[in-house]
Amino acid sequence: MKFVKAKGIVLKDINFEESSKVLTILTAEIGKIQALSKNCRRTLSPLSAVSQPLIYSEFVFTKAKDIYSISSASVIESFFDLTQNVDLTIYSSYLIELVDNFIELEQKNEDVLRLLLNSLYMLKKGAEPETICRIFEIKILIFTGFFPQFTQCVKCHKSSLNQIFFSFKNAGVVCPECKEEDDVKISLETVEKILIIAATDLKKLSKIKIDKELNTILKNLMITYIKLVLQKDVRILDFFRFIK
Ligand SMILES: [Zn+2]
């Protein structure tokens, strides 16, 4: 048996046996893992506080036969307060769900972990939740390698476009000549906002403002595209599209 130290945030918890849980944790050091939190549902268990979604902790795991068990843990930052508010619960679940769907078990992605922590922190500090979600969608696509081509026609590579269409099938913008039937028209303003968000450092994202009209356009575009990328039925995407 060996000990493994890692910092991570709990994405999901599932009750296991009488008094334990199996947690899905996204860690910096060993990627996304599942770990057994033994007896954490017992009263006074030292693991009860760290064994809930939205808690970021420093863990010590034991690993035996490919199964991680939490040996000890201490909370670094808790975002659990977000669950005290119905809207913020929905927004934070959405972010968690995206991370859980984009990152496979054993997969490591420190950028996505940083993005999640940063976004939850901004939500906690009262940032506009819809804006946080739009930024999150764009950044997670970048950090996982699925960001569409927005700077030139994805087919003929022409870069100065007087009319812009978005092709979900080809993952990028197309010019009027290359446009196909299913491609949708998007404004230059939309493309510019996406590129600004894409280029902005995580630490400076609080300066980004998105008005209501543009938010609706971005939200539809991103959710439709993410559904295609993930190629699985992520129920929260459909649910989320219709709130607000
Ligand atoms: Zn073209």
Split at pLDDT 50, 70, 90, the class of 206 is confident
Predicted pLDDT of residue 66: 84
What span, in angstroms and rounded, lies between the C-alpha atoms of 136 and 130?
Answer: 10
Q: In what order do the strands lie in the sheet with 164-167?
A: 172-174, 164-167, 184-186
With 70 as the cut, is the pLDDT of residue 43 above it? yes
Distance (Å) from CA 65 to ligand 1 centroid: 53
Distance (Å) from CA 161 to ligand 1 centroid: 9
Distance (Å) from CA 154 to ligand 1 centroid: 7
Distance (Å) from CA 197 to ligand 1 centroid: 24
Split at pLDDT 50, 70, 90, the class of 19 is very high
Distance (Å) from CA 41 to ligand 1 centroid: 58
Predicted pLDDT of residue 114: 97
Distance (Å) from CA 22 to ligand 1 centroid: 49
Distance (Å) from CA 217 to ligand 1 centroid: 23
Distance (Å) from CA 134 to ligand 1 centroid: 27
Distance (Å) from CA 165 to ligand 1 centroid: 10
- Domain over 2-78 is classified CATH 2.40.50.140: yes
Distance (Å) from CA 181 to ligand 1 centroid: 14
Split at pLDDT 50, 70, 90, the class of 21 is very high
pLDDT more than 90, % of the chain: 88
Split at pLDDT 50, 70, 90, the class of 65 is confident
The structure's pTM equals 0.94
Average pLDDT, the chain: 94
Tell me which long-range contacts 69-74 makes (C-beta under 8 A, separation of at least 24).
69/35, 69/36, 69/37, 69/38, 70/23, 70/35, 70/36, 70/37, 70/38, 70/40, 71/3, 72/46, 73/47, 74/50
Mean pLDDT to the nearest integer, 96-113:
97
pLDDT tens digits for 123-173? 999 999 999 999 999 999 999 999 999 999 999 999 988 899 999 999 999
Distance (Å) from CA 146 to ligand 1 centroid: 20
> Where are the CATH 2.40.50.140 domain residues in the chain?
2-78
Among the residues of 13-65, which ranges form H helices? none
With 80 as the cut, is the pLDDT of residue 241 above it? no
Distance (Å) from CA 150 to ligand 1 centroid: 12
Split at pLDDT 50, 70, 90, the class of 231 is confident
